Amino acid sequence: MHYLSPAVFLGKTFQLPFDVRILQRERKKLLAELELGGDDALKLNGRSFTKNELIDYFEELQREDIAAYHLAISKDPALLDFLQYAGIDEGARFKYAETYNDPGFISWISPCFRSAFIQLTKDCFELTDAVSMRAILNNKLLMTADDTEQSWLFIAGILEKNIALFDHYRGRGQKTSPPMMPVTEISAFIGHGYVEVIKQLPDSRFARIKDSYAFNMQHPAIAVFNRDRRNRSLAIIWVEEALALAISPDIKKRIQAKLNELLGLLRKQEKKRNLRAVWIIVVAISMGISFFNSSNESSSSIVTPNTYMYPVQPDSTMGLPDSVIVTAKKKDTARHQKRRPLSP
């Protein structure tokens, strides 16, 4: 059931008592519109109202106590917005009104409040909006005990459904294990934003399910850690989020032990990676030195300074070739033989 303010028909500054003639006129108009539309419900302020709901609504407006309830709500912008649009701003607080302590008021407004509350909490989980969840829970929940419990059961159902998904990863951490569901199917439910929404829920009602949720978050984390080395850091983050969510000391201790184990394995992996990098650098340096020495040895053996090509004039009568190979030593000897000593 959705809340509809009389301001839609009477204006935002309506006063008591309501003008019965205006109410009767609006009732007739809406029922005719519903009949002509051929639908089962009519939308007003973004909410759907059936024929019976509209009839009951206008009949209730003629009661003095109900009219007084509407007037109290009209003077509370935060409550009015919440009831009509299932939304609440950060830090928004409902005004204190004596009417809110009236059991008759609680009984009357409870179905509308529960409808808005369930819609808001559903949106908070889907949008990972911890701010709105915290804002509504910081206000008085204007519901009967039964409607409050129904609201908690709705939220618990969301969390238990996620826990069932986490359980799929139990025992699938080995490479030889059966194929596991893609992590994308559950990653949104174990991220920081989603966990922050859960943490806003009152421990007095959700401590047990928070512990269960946190403990079961380990299953996909362990599976990813063992089977997807590239995402091991992500798996560590999931376990850290589980530790932050857990309530009981025993569950916290068990999750902490698992976190320490995974961190130890991650450090070993990093150590092996660093040693491998050092080994590669050493080998590269060794190969560079060997190549440098080899290059020096090759360059020093290419040129023989005492041997070169020396051209001479051909002698056709002797049948000699166009050039002969002579050594530098022979050339120098011939030059010294032709040179005469200088006079003293």
Question: What does 213-256 look like in DSSP terms, one character per residue?
Answer: HHHHHHHHHHHHHHH-GGGHHHHHHHHHHHHHH--SHHHHHHHH
What is the C-alpha to C-alpha distance for residues 266 and 233, in angstroms, rounded to an integer? 8
What is the C-alpha to C-alpha distance for residues 153 and 156, in angstroms, rounded to an integer? 5
pLDDT per residue as tens digits for the range 227-262: 888 889 999 999 999 999 999 999 999 999 999 999
Angle at which helices 249-300 and 203-227 pack, to 10 degrees?
30
Q: Which of 58, 71, 149 is nearest to 110 (CA)?
A: 149
What is the C-alpha to C-alpha distance for residues 14 and 177, in angstroms, rounded to an integer? 68
Please say whether the beta carbons of 120 and 73 come within 8 A.
no
Residue 224 CB coordination number (10 Å): 23
pTM, whole model, 2 decimals? 0.75
pLDDT score at 316: 45
pLDDT per residue as tens digits for the range 39-75: 888 888 777 889 998 999 999 999 999 999 999 999 9
What is the C-alpha to C-alpha distance for residues 14 and 10, in angstroms, rounded to an integer? 6
Contacts of 62 (CB under 8 A, 6+ apart): 18, 20, 23
Which backbone phi and psi does 44 adopt, to 5 degrees? Answer: -135, 125
pLDDT per residue as tens digits for the range 263-292: 998 887 666 666 565 566 666 676 666 666
Q: Which residue has the higher pLDDT, 5 or 39?
A: 5
Which backbone phi and psi does 42 adopt, to 5 degrees? Answer: -120, 135
Burial classification of residue 118, based on how many CB atoms lie within 10 Å of its CB (0-12 exposed, 13-18 middle, 19 or more buried):
middle
Report whether pLDDT(202) > 60. yes
Report whether pLDDT(311) > 80. no
